[in-house]
Amino acid sequence: MRTPFIAGNWKMNKTISEGEQFIDSLGDLPAEDEVESAICAPFIHLPSLLEKAQHLNLGIGAENAHYEDSGAFTGEVSAAMLGDLGVDYVIIGHSERREHFNETDGTVNKKTHAVLDKNMIPIVCVGESDAEREAGDHASVVESQIEKAFDGIPAESAGKVVVAYEPIWAIGTGKSATSEDANEMCGVIRKKVASLYGNETAAAVRIQYGGSVKPANIGEYMGQEHIDGALVGGASLEPEDFMALLEGAKR
């Protein structure tokens, strides 16, 4: 049985003091065997969040990483630096980074390798656009993203990867895929992983849904066979909402 996993993605929000206040305002988090949880935050937050969360059942993640350990890449932060800091998770290939910062399937693959090599867990984002869904290409687009993201990843590492299915048309728009549609696509992802690594690895990979997830609808998604949690944007910015998401994710 896969443990549910809720990850908040703060995106470019909160000052350091606001982030610290968020952690201080959290109530009693569920036990690790009930729901795993994480906050993924801008780089400047990570040291203080790691210190604040060290005695909590709360992972801390970055929203991006560079695949090179070091070099002339002004403004970038490497997976090596994040691993040394003690970060638990790294979001890779979010649609906003693909759209605004030229992230490609190739760089997603390099970053997945780098994050795994530094003993962190990648949260690999995949998802189709509205036009791709309307054209009926949504399954093939996501299958291709999965195949390229996992290229060269050995089976013993592949099972550690978290996949976040985020249909682009449902991120920050107020729209959301129905729980049935989301489950269907998460099933497509699991089947693709199975074709690459076999059923045992596919059964181990946790697949989150992301796209306008809220406390009011988290239960619908968690009731589906292939949905193991959520990658949540706006609804992760308030402690009360985040706690409600964790409660809603309990199976």
169 annotated binding-site participant: no
- In the prediction, which pLDDT does 25 show? 96
- In the prediction, which pLDDT does 78 show? 98
Boundaries of domain holding 203: 5-249
Task: Let me know if 166 is a catalytic residue.
Answer: yes
Structure tokens at 3: 């443990």
- In the prediction, which pLDDT does 50 show? 98
Task: Let me know if 99 is a catalytic residue.
Answer: no
Spot the catalytic one: 36, 96, 103, 166: 166
Helix 138-149 / helix 179-197 crossing angle, nearest 10 deg: 40
Which residues in 145-181 are b (16+ Cβ under 10 Å) and which e? bbebbbeebeeebbbbbbbbbbbbbbbeeeebbebeb
Give the number of domains in the chain: 1
- In the prediction, which pLDDT does 154 show? 97
- In the prediction, which pLDDT does 51 show? 97
| Share in percent of the chain as helix, strand, coil (round to 5) | 45, 15, 40
The sign of the dihedral angle between the CA atoms of 92, 235, 165, 197 is: positive
**166 and 125 in contact (C-beta within 8 Å)?**
yes
User: Can you give the CATH number for the domain in which 138 is found?
Assistant: 3.20.20.70
129 annotated binding-site participant: no
- In the prediction, which pLDDT does 177 show? 85
Spot the catalytic one: 94, 113, 138, 226: 94
Mean pLDDT of each 10-residue bin along the chain, 251 residues long: 96 98 95 95 98 96 98 98 98 95 97 98 96 93 98 97 92 81 97 98 97 93 96 97 96 72
